[in-house]
RNA sequence: CGGGGUAUGGCGCAGUCCGGUUAGCGUACCUGCUUUGGGAGCAGGGGGUCGUAGGUUCGAAUCCUACUACCCCGACCA
């Protein structure tokens, strides 16, 4: 039982940290606040990337790459933007090291100071809009639909694997449009892409909404987001899509000539999801035995564990397994046949449960006699025997079942932990347990006070908000509809 | 960045208060035999500059100083 992890009820955050490490997803590195993403964790991220990339391309976007380092002066071009990010920027000041004369190893060469310091990008709006200035002259150059896969750095005070690390991997889309409407549509389209990805592939239900002014992206006119619920009832912002208006176009002087010959500023959007999605995936589904991965994102969808005795045992199992392997692969199912004789079956069972492999097949002497396979599903922990000649179709169907079941389970959990509050007392109690819909008077002052007293923030003003007369849960002032409150990661 | 805690074979810990043989335990690892349908058993074996750098002392894992990293609570954070 060396790899057992703490239980969720005992200590949720300890459970999360241990799970990430024990399942081989990531670990802390020797570099402060930065993680090492291990092969199994990276394999999941690669699947996410691949699916998202495909969705971006289907909606007309192209990939490009912009520099990691940004001239310091760029950051101050957009006033709100610099205020939002200045406090967490890593700065490059020198370009050379030299051996210390006193023998203290290498030291920064004081003579190699940069004339203008460079910022390690916390996000790339500035350097990209600076580039767009030279790419855009006419309405014929628009829309410009670019995505970048890369890494960014934000000097966070407190880091947690995947959820908040100083360096993280992400994609950032940056688009430029001729009209406001088109840019707004793009913003909403990408929000929908994110929502679809998270719900359909990650099997995590989300709430789509728009951020309040105080939670808005630094430099945006509007910030849209998807919010997911974790198993401790807290919210995790899973993706954002920003309508930038003409803010960056004005800051970087990006103008175009319209069909009518008029010169105008372009309209912009930016949108991103990060390795934080890994955190959402882990916390939304996993249990005290380890990861639970949705089949659509599992690097290994099916594992086959042979059970045999020394000698010819494995040979016999192999004969039966080989055609199954072939058929499963033909169905596009990723399957691993674990023939290692260095670990016992029981050990392997526990190991693949820890790693969240959706379906496990075990084949041993009993099965050879009866013509069956033992099927074990990770999500429900059910085990049963299935005739061997129908196993391939069965597994294909089972993977879909599991994907659906994981989603349903998460959706049911979210429903159970989503309540409406009508009094302040009730609000304070409910917000400890999950999402709360409540009236808000629309002022940042009230928002702040609620945060101060309860630690809960307005996650978003939901897009499907229905008009409803009411009174603010805190101030009692009139309100037109309910907003979503929760404690957040 | 403020408060609290931790740092000892790969991992988890004891030893530190009150300095003194060869730094110990569980697990993991290696070898052999027996095992193999839920994290195997027995026997033997290897692995440590006790986070880093200084200091006190005849002698430091243990006392003192500084630093670093990680964890928890805050603050901060899209």
Contact criterion met (CB below 8 Å) for A222 and A243: yes
Nucleotides of B under 7 A from a protein CB: 1, 10-11, 26-28, 35-40, 68-78
Contact A474, A449 (CB under 8 A): yes
Q: Shortest CA–C1' contact from A369: which nucleotide?
A: B37
Cis peptide before A429 (omega within 30 of 0): no
Q: Which residue has the least CA–C1' distance to nucleotide B75?
A: A157
CA atoms within 13 A on the CB side of A263: 6
Q: How far is the CA of A31 from the C1' of B55 (A)?
A: 29
Structure confidence at residue A3 (pLDDT): 63
Q: Three-class SS of residue A469?
A: coil
- CATH 3.90.480.20 is right for the domain spanning A12-70+128-285: no
A70-74, A307-311, A382-386, A408-412 — which is least confidently predicted? A307-311
Euclidean distance between CA atoms A441 and A450, whole angstroms: 12
Spanning CA of A106 to C1' of B72, the rounded length in angstroms is 36
- A303 contacts: CB under 8 Å, gap ≥ 6: A335, A336, A337, A338, A348, A352, A357, A359, A360, A361
Q: Which residues contact A342 (CB under 8 A, 6 or more apart)?
A: none
Distance A3 CA to B14 C1' (A): 21
- Name the closest nucleotide to A374, judged by C1' and CA: B37
A33: pLDDT confidence band, cut at 50, 70 and 90? confident
As beta bridge partners, residue A335 has A302
The DSSP string of A214-266 is GGS-TT-SEEEEEEEE-TTS-EEEEEEEEEEETHHHHHTT-EEE-TTS-EEE-
The protein residue nearest nucleotide B40, judged by CA to C1', is A344
Note the CA–C1' distance, A94 to B4, in angstroms.
37
Q: Where in chain A is the domain with CATH 3.40.50.800?
A: 302-398
Domain A302-398 has CATH 3.40.50.800: yes
Rounded to 5°, angle at Cα A118 from A114 and A119: 155
ipTM at complex level: 0.91
Q: For all residues of chain A together, what is the average pLDDT?
A: 94
For residues A375-398, average pLDDT: 97
Q: Which of A279, A297, A275, A397 is nearest to A357 (CA)?
A: A297
Which class for A335: exposed (0-12), middle (13-18), buried (19 or more C-beta within 10 A)? buried
Give nearest nucleotide to A165 (CA–C1'). Answer: B77
Does the pLDDT at position A2 exceed 50?
A: no
CA of A100 to C1' of B56 (A): 30
Looking at residue A213, what is its pLDDT? 93
Instruction: Please state which CATH number belongs to domain A418-486.
Output: 3.30.110.30
Positive or negative, the CA dihedral A18, A376, A412, A204 is positive
Nucleotide nearest A166, from its CA to each C1': B77
- Report the distance separating Cα A102 and Cα A79, nearest Å: 45
Nucleotide nearest to A273 (CA to C1'): B78
Locate CATH 3.30.930.10 in chain A: 12-70+128-285
| A5, closest nucleotide (Cα–C1') | B12
pLDDT tens per residue across span A50-108: 999 999 999 999 999 999 999 999 998 998 999 889 888 999 999 988 877 665 567 78
Query: How many Å from the CA of A98 to C1' of B23?
Result: 40
Classify strands A302-306 and A359-363 as parallel, antiparallel or unpaired.
parallel
For residues A314, A319, A325, A330, the Cα torsion angle rounded to the nearest 10 degrees is 170
Q: What is the pLDDT of residues A265-305, one digit of tens each?
A: 999 999 999 999 999 999 999 999 999 999 999 999 999 99
Cα(A366)–Cα(A371) distance, integer angstroms: 8
Angle subtended at Cα A101 by Cα A95 and Cα A103, rounded to the nearest 5 degrees? 105
Write out the DSSP string of A403-451. HHHHHHHHHHHHHHTEEE--SHHHHHHHTTTSEEEEE--S-HHHHHHHH
Q: Could you tell me which residue, A465 or A143, shows the higher pLDDT? A: A143
Angstrom distance, A40 CA to B11 C1': 19
Cβ atoms of residues A470 and A479 within 8 Å: yes
Interatomic CA–C1' length for residue A29 and nucleotide B53, angstroms: 22
Protein residue minimizing CA–C1' distance to B28: A2
CATH 3.30.110.30 positions along chain A are: 418-486
Q: What is the pLDDT of residue A102?
A: 62
Residue A231 near residue A484 (C-beta atoms within 8 A) = no
- For the stretch A325-348, pLDDT in tens is 999 999 999 999 999 989 999 999
Among A68, A267, A265, residue whose Cα is nearest residue A187: A267
């Amino acid at each position: 039982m060396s790899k057992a992890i703490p239980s969720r009820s005992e200590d949720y955050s300890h459970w999360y940290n241990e799970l990430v490490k024990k399942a081989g997803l990531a670990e802390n590195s020797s570099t402060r606040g930065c993680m090492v993403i291990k092969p199994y964790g990276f394999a999941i991220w690669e699947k996410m990337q691949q699916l998202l990339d495909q969705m971006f391309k289907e909606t007309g976007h192209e990939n490009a790459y912009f520099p990691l380092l940004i001239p310091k002066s760029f950051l101050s071009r957009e006033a709100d933007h610099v205020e939002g990010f200045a406090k967490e920027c890593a700065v490059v000041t020198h370009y050379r090291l030299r051996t210390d004369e006193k023998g203290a190893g290498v030291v920064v060469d004081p003579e190699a100071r940069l004339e203008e310091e460079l910022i390690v990008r916390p996000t790339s709006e500035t350097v990209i809009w600076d580039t767009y200035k030279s790419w855009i002259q006419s309405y014929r150059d628009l829309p410009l639909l670019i995505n970048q896969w890369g890494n960014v750095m934000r000097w966070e005070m407190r880091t947690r694997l995947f959820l908040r690390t100083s360096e993280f991997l992400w994609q950032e889309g940056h688009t430029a449009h001729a009209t406001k409407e088109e840019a707004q549509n793009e913003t909403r389209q990408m929000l929908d892409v994110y929502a679809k990805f998270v719900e359909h592939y990650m099997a995590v239900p989300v709430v789509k909404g728009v951020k309040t002014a105080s939670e808005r992206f630094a430099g945006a006119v509007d910030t849209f987001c998807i919010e997911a619920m974790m198993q401790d009832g807290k919210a995790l912002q899973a993706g954002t899509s920003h309508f930038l208006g003409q803010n960056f176009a004005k800051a970087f002087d990006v103008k175009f000539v319209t069909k009518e010959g008029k010169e105008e500023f372009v309209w912009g959007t930016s949108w991103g999801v990060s390795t934080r999605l890994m955190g959402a995936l882990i916390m939304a589904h996993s249990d005290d035995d380890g990861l639970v991965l949705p089949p659509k994102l599992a690097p290994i969808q099916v594992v086959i564990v042979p059970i045999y005795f020394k000698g010819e045992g494995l040979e016999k199992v192999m004969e039966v397994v080989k055609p199954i392997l072939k058929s499963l692969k033909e169905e596009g199912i990723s399957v691993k046949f674990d023939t290692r004789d260095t670990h016992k079956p029981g050990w392997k069972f526990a190991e693949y449960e820890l790693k969240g492999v959706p379906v496990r097949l075990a084949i041993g002497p009993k099965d050879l006699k009866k013509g069956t396979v033992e099927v074990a599903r990770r999500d429900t922990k059910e085990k049963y025997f299935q005739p061997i000649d129908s196993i391939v179709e069965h597994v294909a169907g089972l993977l879909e079942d599991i994907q659906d079941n994981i989603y349903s389970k998460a959706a049911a959990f979210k429903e159970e932990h989503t309540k409406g509050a009508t009094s302040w007392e009730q609000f304070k109690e409910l917000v400890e347990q999950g999402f709360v819909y409540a009236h808000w008077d629309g002022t940042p002052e009230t928002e702040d006070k609620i945060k101060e007293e309860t630690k809960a923030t307005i996650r978003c003003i939901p897009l499907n908000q229905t008009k409803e007369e009411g009174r603010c849960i805190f101030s009692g002032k009139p309100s037109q509809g309910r907003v979503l409150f929760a404690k957040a990661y």
